Structure 1
Amino acid sequence: MKVRLGTAQIGLARYVGLWTIVAVVFAEQHYLQDDLSGHTWSIFDYLRWSLIQWYVWAALAPQVFRLAARFPIRPPVRLRGLGMQLPLSFGVTMLAQLIGAFFSIFTEESSLGEQLSQFIGQHFATGLLTYWALFAIQQAMYFHDEKTRREVEAGRLATELAQSRLQALKSQLQPHFLFNTLHAIATLLKEDALSAEDMLLRLSELLRAFLEDYDGQEISLRRELVLLDLYLGIQQMRFKDRLTTRIYVAPDTLDCAVPSLILQPIVENAIRHGIGERLGADCIEIESRRDGDTLRIEVRNRNSTLEKNGQAIGTRAGHGIGLSNTELRLRELYGDAAHVRLDIIWPEGVVCRIQLPFREIEEIDDAPEVVTA
């Protein structure tokens, strides 16, 4: 059985025990005061009187909490709340004295009027302070609950805002990718209609996978690589023998959580700034490995370089959606625990290095096996 005080609940035994401690403390205090004056009663008499007084307040405390909740005093102080609490405090305190006096006549040889007079004279001021102390406790609990509620609400709104940002960033990638792929297909139609038709079929399969798998912000690296393989198949149809790919994936990283569509825009940039704008062949390499609590992913191409400002040659202002989008998504998802940067590799080429917190994700794995090296 529990006693409800506002929004809090306390076990009955514990509740009675707390009020018993209060009664014992005040009984001892009254005994010591009388002892200093040279006239005392039995210690058990003091304890009996104190228990009657404070058990009455124990019974009235839940009602005081209800009155405090119904007629609160909120900043700025309203006359309505104060005007109700002042008479209520006197009324409840008077009721406590009346109840205490009533129970005392069963242990004392005196009338109800005499006991009531003694209770009012000895305990009314203390009772009034008790009412306002209970009122203050209820108000403090209310403000604490309100603060907690607002913090939870603020956290929920911040999470929703972050999810909205992430969804916007992710939604930005798909039209960008779709536009570039359709442009490549339109170009190929003039040169090789059969290859263009095969690219359209691969694109259809990839878009279907997007719709099925991209409900959340994170997927396993295993599934991300399967989707990337569909995209690379499209690009290999476009560039034929000029483009080769190599994937080096540590087996213990396949079930690690990564942002969905994290690799496709980076690989797209590597192709676009490599053989997409320069003569010759290119090799795209994707590597993943675990480093303690960190997942490291690298995307390398061998047919591009960096300008002094760290951008790939051929990158134009406003066209760096892949890398900038990836950077923003990592910041939203992982804060300072994730990084992405571009570096030059020897003898020629550019590597995009991604660092993520290592965390495995549970998925129903119906994707094909990824070949690791």
Structure 2
Amino acid sequence: MMVRLGNTQIGLFRYLGLWTAVVVLFGMQNFVADAMNGRTWSAWDYLRWSGIRWYTWAALAPLVFRLAERYPIYGSLRLRDLGAQLVASMAVTLLVLVIGAFVSTAFEPSNFDTQLRYFLGFYVATGLLTYWALYAVQRAVQFYEEKTHREVEASRLATELAQSRLRALKSQLQPHFLFNTLHAIATLLDEDTLSAEDMLLRLSDLLRAFLEDYDGQEVSLRRELVLLDLYLGIQRIRFKDRLTTQIYIAPDTLDCAVPSLILQPIVENAIAHGISKRVGMDCIEVESRREGDTLCIDVRNRNSTLQAGPASASGHGIGLSNTELRLRELYGDVAQVRLDMIWPEGVVCRLRLPFREIGEQDDAPEVASA
């Protein structure tokens, strides 16, 4: 069974336990006061006198909470609400005293009028203080609940905002990638129809695999490699013998969480700024490893250059800039992405993410373990 105090519910036994503690405390106080005057009564008498008063307040406390909710006193001190509470405090206190006097009549030799005068003479001030103490408790509980609700709502709104930003960033990548791929297919239609058809089928598989995970912001590295393998298959058809790929994946990183579609735009940048703009052959290498609590992913290409200085990253397209924004939204300052030159020629994009397993069981393409 539950006792409802405003919007708060408390178990009946716990509620009675709290008020019993008050009964015992004031019963002991009365005993000590009488003992100092040299005259005491039995323990039952002190508990009975204290219990009549405080259990009556226990019965009426839900009423006090409802009155506090209906007529709250704010900082502006509206006279209507203040007046309502003053009247309510006197009315409820009087009701408690009347009930206490009526109940005491059953245990005492004096009549109701005598008991009522006794209660009015000794317990009016205590009753008013009790009412206002209960009022203060109700307001404190309500303020705490409102504060908690605002914090939860603010957290929910912040989460929704972050998700909206991430969806917007992902949506920017899709048309960019589709345009490049469809352009390559259109070019191959006149040169190699079979290769164009193969590329179109791989594009269909890639889009289907991506749409299955569209609502998720994170996938396992294993799942991300499936998408990457489909994309690299398209690019190998496009560039034929000029492009080779190497995948080095540490087995303990396969189930680690990574942002979905994080590798494809990085590899696309590597191809766009390497073999697409420069003559000769190129090799795209993807490596993952664990370093403590960090997942390290490196994407290298051997046929591009990077000018010295921090401004060099600005020339590497929407993929890298969106990658930076997505990592910031998902992980804050914990994750990092940067571009470095590698010897004797080439560029490496280094991703550093918090190491956390996601527990997916997707089938991954065959990869060479480091």
The one-letter amino acid paired with 1:108 is E
* Alignment match, 1:93: 93
Alpha-carbon distance in 2 for matches of 1:197, 1:12:
73
* 1:34 Cα deviation from its structure 2 partner: 4.5
Tell me which moved more, 143-152 or 201-210.
Answer: 201-210
The correspondence for 2:368, drawn from 357, 369, 372, is 372
- Alpha carbons 1:23, 1:54 under 8 Å: kept: yes
* Alignment match, 1:42: 41
1:304 is paired with a residue of what secondary structure?
Answer: coil
Q: 1:303 to 1:312 in 2, by over 3 A?
A: farther
Alpha-carbon distance in 1 for matches of 2:302, 2:333:
29
2:332 is paired with a residue of what secondary structure?
Answer: helix
The correspondence for 1:360, drawn from 343, 348, 357, is 357
Q: 1:273 to 1:310 in 2, by over 3 A?
A: farther
Alpha-carbon distance in 2 for matches of 1:69, 1:251:
60
1:102 is paired with a residue of what secondary structure?
Answer: helix
- Alpha carbons 1:24, 1:47 under 8 Å: kept: yes
Alpha-carbon distance in 1 for matches of 2:293, 2:7:
42
Tell me which moved more, 120-129 or 16-25.
Answer: 16-25
Identity %: 71
Alpha-carbon distance in 2 for matches of 1:178, 1:305:
26
* Alignment match, 2:231: 231
- Alpha carbons 1:305, 1:312 under 8 Å: kept: no
Q: 1:332 to 1:261 in 2, by over 3 A?
A: same
1:370 is paired with a residue of what secondary structure?
Answer: coil
* Alignment match, 1:60: 60
2:333 is paired with a residue of what secondary structure?
Answer: helix
Alpha-carbon distance in 2 for matches of 1:47, 1:211:
72
Q: TM-score, structure 1 length as denominator?
A: 0.93
Does 2:210 align with 1:210? yes
* 1:181 Cα deviation from its structure 2 partner: 1.3
Does 2:29 align with 1:11? no
Give the unaligned 5+ runs of structure 1. none
Alpha-carbon distance in 1 for matches of 2:188, 2:159:
44
For residues 137-286 of structure 1, what are the structure 2 equivalents within 5 Å?
A: 137-286=137-286
Tell me which moved more, 355-364 or 87-96.
Answer: 355-364
* 1:306 Cα deviation from its structure 2 partner: 1.0
* 1:338 Cα deviation from its structure 2 partner: 1.0
Does 2:315 align with 1:321? no
* 1:14 Cα deviation from its structure 2 partner: 2.9
Alpha-carbon distance in 2 for matches of 1:370, 1:83:
79
Question: Which deviations, in whole Å up to 9, do the C-alpha atoms of 1:296-353 show, x marking residues without a partner?
Answer: 111001111211234659x64xx62111101111111111221111111111111111
Does 2:135 align with 1:135? yes
- Alpha carbons 1:327, 1:340 under 8 Å: kept: yes
* 1:190 Cα deviation from its structure 2 partner: 4.2
- Alpha carbons 1:169, 1:329 under 8 Å: kept: yes
* 1:289 Cα deviation from its structure 2 partner: 1.1
- Alpha carbons 1:288, 1:295 under 8 Å: kept: yes
- Alpha carbons 2:236, 2:244 under 8 Å: kept: yes
Alpha-carbon distance in 2 for matches of 1:189, 1:81:
81
Alpha-carbon distance in 1 for matches of 2:364, 2:46:
82
* 1:80 Cα deviation from its structure 2 partner: 2.8
The one-letter amino acid paired with 1:132 is W
* 1:177 Cα deviation from its structure 2 partner: 0.5
* 1:364 Cα deviation from its structure 2 partner: 4.7
The one-letter amino acid paired with 1:321 is I
Q: 1:298 to 1:338 in 2, by over 3 A?
A: same
Tell me which moved more, 292-301 or 263-272.
Answer: 292-301
Does 2:316 align with 1:330? no
- Alpha carbons 2:229, 2:365 under 8 Å: kept: no
* 1:217 Cα deviation from its structure 2 partner: 0.8
Question: Which deviations, in whole Å up to 9, do the C-alpha atoms of 1:77-119 show, x marking residues without a partner?
Answer: 3233222211111111000000000111111111101100110
1:336 is paired with a residue of what secondary structure?
Answer: coil
Alpha-carbon distance in 1 for matches of 2:357, 2:35:
72
Alpha-carbon distance in 2 for matches of 1:215, 1:27:
63
* 1:273 Cα deviation from its structure 2 partner: 0.7
2:184 is paired with a residue of what secondary structure?
Answer: helix
Give the unaligned 5+ runs of structure 2. none
- Alpha carbons 2:57, 2:96 under 8 Å: kept: yes
Question: Which deviations, in whole Å up to 9, do the C-alpha atoms of 1:52-87 show, x marking residues without a partner?
Answer: 111111111122112212222234332332222111
Q: 1:252 to 1:16 in 2, by over 3 A?
A: same
* 1:203 Cα deviation from its structure 2 partner: 1.6
Q: TM-score, structure 2 length as denominator?
A: 0.93
